[in-house]
C-alpha cells in the first residue's frame, strides 16, 4: 500500500469542480458545500503517511511517479498520493506551512484527481456572461487571471481560476463547474488594479503572488459557449480568429491542465475524445493582443460587449 491515511479530529466539506470534497485540511480557497446537501463525498482528502516510492511506478521525473491507479508527488511541502480519482493523502513535511501544502494539493494533485475521474481540466479561467460561460486559456503569464479580475471588476461572476473543469451533458453540451473561490494574482498586477496586497493572503511563503477572493461564489455550473486561446504578442491591435478542425483540437490539447499527467496515467485517449466533443459544440477562438497590462481592461470591455461573436472571416479586428 502506497499511502496510509490516519484519522483526524475534524473535517471540512467543500464543493468545487462539480465534486463534493471532504477534507482533513482546511481549504479556504474552496467554497463550503451546502450544509443541507446530502449524498456521498466524491473526493476525500486525508492526512497520513505516503511511501517514499510508488509501487509499480513509472517515474515521470524526480518528483512525480504514476502507476495504473495512483499519482505520487514529492515536494518541499511534503509527499502526496492521489488514488483512483477518489482520495488524496497528504504527508506534510514538518516545517511546511499550511499555504505551501495547499499550493500543491489544490494544483497538481487536484488536477490528477480530475484526470483520474475522466473530467477534462483546462488551464483556463471561466467567466459567466449572462446565460453562458466563456473560458480564457493560455500559458502562465498570458493574462488569464488578470483578465478574470478585470471581468470581476465589471460585475461579472468568475467561475474558475487556473483550473477549468469541463464536463458534457447527454446532448454533448460542454459545462464548466465552479472551481477555486479565488483568483491568483502577482503583486504588481494587484497594484495596477488598485488593490492592496497587504489585505490579501499570499499563495505561498516565498512568492509575490496573492489570492483575490471571488466576489460571488456559486455552486451552479454554466454552459461553455466560447474558449479563447490567449496569444499576447507584439501585434498593434486586438484580433480574434475562429479555429476549426485539427487546428482547434491542437489548440485545446495544448491547454489541458497537466497534460503530461493524462498521458502518463493512460487517460490521454479519453481526454482527446473529450477535446473533439468540445470543438464540436464550443467556438474556439485565437485571441491576439498587444503585450502589457494597459490593454487588458479594453480587451475585457470588448469581450463583455460581445464584440467577438461567431466569426465568418479568418480574422476579425476589434478596431
Q: For the chain, which domains are there?
A: 3-117 (no CATH), 121-317 (3.40.50)
In whole angstroms, how far apart are CA 189 and each of 5, 19, 127?
40, 31, 19
Average pLDDT of the segment spanning 178-204 = 90
Q: Which three cell numbers stand for residue 187?
A: 503583486
What CA–CA distance (Å, rounded) separates 44 from 17?
A: 14
| pLDDT tens figures, 67-100 | 889 999 999 999 999 999 999 999 999 999 999 9
What CA–CA distance (Å, rounded) separates 268 from 253?
A: 10
10 Å Cβ neighbour count for 171? 6
Q: What DSSP element (H or E) covers 186?
A: strand 182-186
What CA–CA distance (Å, rounded) separates 19 from 177?
A: 9
Residues facing residue 65 across a β-bridge? 59, 72
Q: Decide if pLDDT at 252 tops 90.
A: yes
Q: Which of 122-126, 130-134, 232-236, 292-296 has the lowest mean pLDDT?
A: 232-236
Residues facing residue 72 across a β-bridge? 65, 81
pLDDT band at 308 (very low <50, low <70, confident <90, very high): low
pLDDT band at 296 (very low <50, low <70, confident <90, very high): confident
More confident position, 48 or 53? 48
Q: Please tell me the predicted confidence (pLDDT) of residue 316.
A: 41
What CA–CA distance (Å, rounded) separates 262 from 81?
A: 16
Question: pTM higher than 0.75, yes or no?
Answer: yes
Cβ contacts of 84 within 8 Å, gap of 6 or more: 69, 70, 116
Q: Are 54 and 83 in contact (CB under 8 A)?
A: no
Q: Are 304 and 248 in contact (CB under 8 A)?
A: no
Q: Please tell me the predicted confidence (pLDDT) of residue 192.
A: 87
CA angle 306, 308, 311 (to 5 degrees): 135
Q: Which three cell numbers stand for residue 73?
A: 508527488
Counted residue by residue, the chain has a size of 319
Q: Which of 5-14, 147-156, 190-199 has the lowest mean pLDDT?
A: 5-14
Q: Please tell me the predicted confidence (pLDDT) of residue 96.
A: 96
What CA–CA distance (Å, rounded) separates 109 from 44?
A: 12
Burial of 294 (0-12, 13-18, 19+ CB in 10 A): exposed
Phi, psi of 112 (to 5 degrees): -65, -40
What CA–CA distance (Å, rounded) separates 282 from 280?
A: 6
pLDDT band at 6 (very low <50, low <70, confident <90, very high): low
What CA–CA distance (Å, rounded) separates 16 from 38?
A: 15
Q: Which three cell numbers stand for residue 120?
A: 477534462
Helix (H) and strand (E) counts in the chain: 8, 22
Amino acid at each position: 500500500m502506497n499511502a496510509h491515511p490516519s484519522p483526524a479530529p475534524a473535517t471540512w466539506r467543500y464543493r468545487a469542480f462539480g465534486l463534493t470534497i471532504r477534507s482533513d485540511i482546511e481549504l479556504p480557497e474552496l467554497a463550503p458545500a451546502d450544509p443541507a446537501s446530502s449524498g456521498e463525498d466524491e473526493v476525500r482528502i486525508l492526512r497520513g503517511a505516503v511511501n517514499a516510492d510508488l509501487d509499480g511506478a513509472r517515474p515521470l521525473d524526480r518528483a512525480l511517479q504514476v502507476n495504473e491507479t495512483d499519482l505520487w508527488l514529492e515536494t518541499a511541502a511534503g509527499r502526496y498520493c492521489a488514488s483512483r480519482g477518489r482520495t488524496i493523502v497528504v504527508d506534510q513535511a514538518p516545517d511546511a506551512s499550511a499555504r505551501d501544502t495547499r499550493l500543491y494539493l489544490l494544483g497538481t494533485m487536484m488536477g490528477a484527481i480530475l484526470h483520474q475521474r475522466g473530467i477534462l481540466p483546462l488551464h483556463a479561467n471561466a467567466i459567466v456572461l449572462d446565460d453562458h460561460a466563456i473560458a480564457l486559456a493560455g500559458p502562465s503569464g498570458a493574462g488569464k487571471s488578470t483578465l478574470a479580475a478585470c471581468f470581476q471588476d465589471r460585475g461579472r461572476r468568475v467561475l474558475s481560476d487556473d483550473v477549468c473543469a469541463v464536463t458534457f451533458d447527454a446532448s454533448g453540451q460542454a459545462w464548466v463547474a465552479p472551481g477555486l473561490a479565488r483568483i491568483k494574482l502577482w503583486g504588481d498586477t494587484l497594484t495596477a488594479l488598485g488593490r492592496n496586497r497587504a489585505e490579501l493572503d499570499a499563495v505561498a511563503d516565498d512568492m509575490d503572488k496573492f489570492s483575490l477572493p471571488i466576489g460571488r461564489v456559486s455552486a451552479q455550473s454554466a454552459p461553455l459557449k466560447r474558449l479563447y486561446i490567449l496569444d499576447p504578442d507584439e501585434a498593434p491591435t486586438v484580433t480574434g480568429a475562429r479555429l476549426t478542425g485539427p487546428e482547434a483540437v491542437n489548440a485545446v490539447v495544448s491547454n489541458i491542465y497537466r497534460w503530461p499527467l493524462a498521458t502518463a496515467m493512460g487517460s490521454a485517449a479519453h481526454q482527446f475524445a473529450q477535446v473533439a466533443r468540445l470543438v464540436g459544440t464550443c467556438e474556439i477562438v485565437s485571441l491576439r493582443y498587444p503585450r502589457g497590462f494597459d490593454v487588458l481592461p479594453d480587451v475585457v470591455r470588448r469581450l463583455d460587449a460581445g464584440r467577438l461573436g461567431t466569426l465568418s472571416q479568418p480574422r476579425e479586428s476589434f478596431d
